[in-house]
Amino acid sequence: MIFKYKESKLSYSVAGAPDGFPVFLNYGLIGSAESPKSYRSLLLRENIKLIILERPGYGSSDYINMESYTDWNSIVEDFLAELEIKDFAVIGISAGAPYAYAMAHHFSEQLTGGVYILSGLPYLPDGDVIAQYTGQNKLFYEKIWNYSQNELQDEMFALLKKYDNFFFNLIMPKSFRNGLKAGFAQHCAGVGQSIRLQMQDWGFDPYALESKINLWHSAKDKEVPLEAVKVMTAKMKSMELHIKGKGHMPGNEIFMDVLKSIKSVCKVRNV
């Protein structure tokens, strides 16, 4: 499906229960508007309508230059108005976490279903947070920290090529392969922008968020170190950190935990 934002077109999908409670999903660095097939039965069971808006520069979505994550809120605001959505919940996975934090900042009164961060990227501009990154992750950010948008696109295009070659002969979910394909679009314009935005001022103070932030993170996460997340959450006003999972990508068990939490919050708030 297509959403028109000013002069641009962005792809989106809606999955699960047609009349279910709306949940907006911000996918990670690699992703697309396609919802994972494994989620669909869970969504129907919990009466959840999952909405994914493909970010600018990914897949068939036109590239829109964003100066900070607050520009994402402007896009989402028009999108939610078009879909006539008032109350909803938001999920941010991995590099999609800052987009979810931004939405928590802007849509706090509408997020009656809560805010959920899975294996989420923390606030990298905070020196205390980025100091927790070690090894190859540390070297990666040190290398690209001052890269331009074009340089980031070149870097990520080369990196995704390596991923593509590695996964070529492996059996991977269709949604993952389509997400990888969406990341390559427009010479990694969307991926490059996501990397650029996470390293600069986010356009709002994530430590001043009034909404309660519910986080799930694995102690075995090799992409986003748990210690960096702990440093961030220690500075937040209201949060609950669940240390759970087998690695970076959250499995169906954690996704089910999130859906049940959303239903519980909706019941308490009578929405």
For the chain, the farthest-separated pair of C-alpha atoms sits apart, in whole angstroms, at 49
Per-domain boundaries in the chain: 2-269
DSSP character for 62?
P
pTM of the prediction? 0.95
Residue 167: what pLDDT?
A: 56
Q: Which CATH superfamily is domain 2-269 in?
A: Alpha/Beta hydrolase fold, catalytic domain (3.40.50.1820)
Locate 86 and state its tokens.
């008032």
Exposed, middle or buried, 162 (CB in 10 Å: 0-12/13-18/19+)?
Answer: exposed
Locate 107 and state its tokens.
């849509």
Q: pLDDT tens digits, the chain, 271 residues: what are they?
A: 999 999 999 999 999 999 999 999 999 999 999 988 888 889 999 999 999 999 999 999 999 999 999 999 999 999 999 999 999 999 999 999 999 999 999 999 999 999 999 999 999 999 999 999 999 999 999 999 999 999 999 999 999 988 776 555 555 566 777 888 999 999 999 999 999 999 999 999 999 999 999 999 999 999 999 999 999 999 999 999 999 999 998 989 999 999 999 999 988 777 7
3-state secondary structure of 15: strand
3-state secondary structure of 57: coil
SS (H, E, C) 119-133: CCCCCCCCHHHHCCC
DSSP character for 240?
E
DSSP character for 188?
H
| Cβ–Cβ under 8 Å, residues 123 and 232 | yes
Residue 244: what pLDDT?
A: 95
3-state secondary structure of 116: strand
Residue 173: what pLDDT?
A: 66
Locate 46 and state its tokens.
């919990």
Distance, CA of 70 to CA of 34 (rounded, Å):
24
DSSP character for 49?
E
